[in-house]
Amino acid sequence: ADDEKLPAYFPAEYIEDSRARVAAYREMASLTSLEELHAFESRLRDRYGPMARPARNLIKVTRLRFEATMANVETVEIRGDRLMVQRNGGFLMVDNRQFPRLRSKHPSSMLSEAIEWLESLNRP
């Protein structure tokens, strides 16, 4: 999974009209909260039906960004099975000063795990 890339975009098969596709990217870029992201995702499903995998991945990547921002995280990187999260100039470690390890091997599942980990930072 090290060099496996995660396709994250709105495919032409999902949003056929190129102007509508550009408008969707523009709207997504203007979102400022998880609530807005959920509403945007619902509108896409209502208009275009079940999401294509690359579109779902794009929503996940955006969710990761929001979770990271809420946790005051500067960078998030997945390297191998390690989740490398930087906050306040230093990396967040677990246990014996180790990077958190991801159990999943598939990029989409690894992204979901990273989101869950960041969510846990945002819980009181």
Complete domains list, the chain, with CATH: 18-122 (3.90.1150.50)
In this prediction, residue 22 carries a pLDDT of: 98
The string of pLDDT tens digits covering residues 15-40 is: 999 999 999 999 999 999 999 999 99
In this prediction, residue 1 carries a pLDDT of: 40
In this prediction, residue 92 carries a pLDDT of: 92
In this prediction, residue 4 carries a pLDDT of: 64
The pTM for the full model equals: 0.88
Q: Which residues of the chain have pLDDT under 50?
A: 1-2
Q: β-strand 73-79 against 82-87: which pairing, if any?
A: antiparallel
